[in-house]
Amino acid sequence: MRVIPRPAGSCRGIAKETGNTMNMVYNSSNFCVVQFSDFGELGQHPAGGFEIMDKSLRREIFLDGKQAEQFKEDVARLISSEPSLDEFDDFLATYAGLMTQPVALH
């Protein structure tokens, strides 16, 4: 089975006037990954970032800047090996120790 993280949904409206978007790029029973584009006041984060959520721990981490770039490169490298869903979840689990922010629903 080939795993390709791609937008499963799109939400516009973070700031419609600047065209900011967030896309769910991965969703399993264990993890969810959301990619953000150009956000923050005055485009503080033009490269965007990634939010990784561990559903069982109910914790998340936000990666931006160099961390987001490294995550994107690591995902591309992993995808080239055509991982299973379990292998992709195992990769995301390597971030679990960094997830200190509780998931808040609002």
Instruction: Going residue by residue through the chain, which has 106 residues, state the pLDDT in tens, using 9 for 90 and above.
Output: 333 343 333 333 333 444 567 889 999 999 999 998 866 555 565 667 899 999 999 999 999 888 988 998 999 999 999 999 999 999 999 999 999 888 876 4
Structure tokens at 83: 């991982």
- The reply to whether 28 falls in a domain is yes
- The reply to whether 21 falls in a domain is yes
Report the chain's terminal Cα–Cα distance, integer Å: 35
Cα torsion angle, 81, 75, 92, 23, sign? negative
- The reply to whether 85 falls in a domain is yes
- The reply to whether 2 falls in a domain is no
Q: What is the DSSP letter of 103?
A: P
**Domain tally, the chain:** 1
Domain extent for 79: 9-99
- The reply to whether 57 falls in a domain is yes
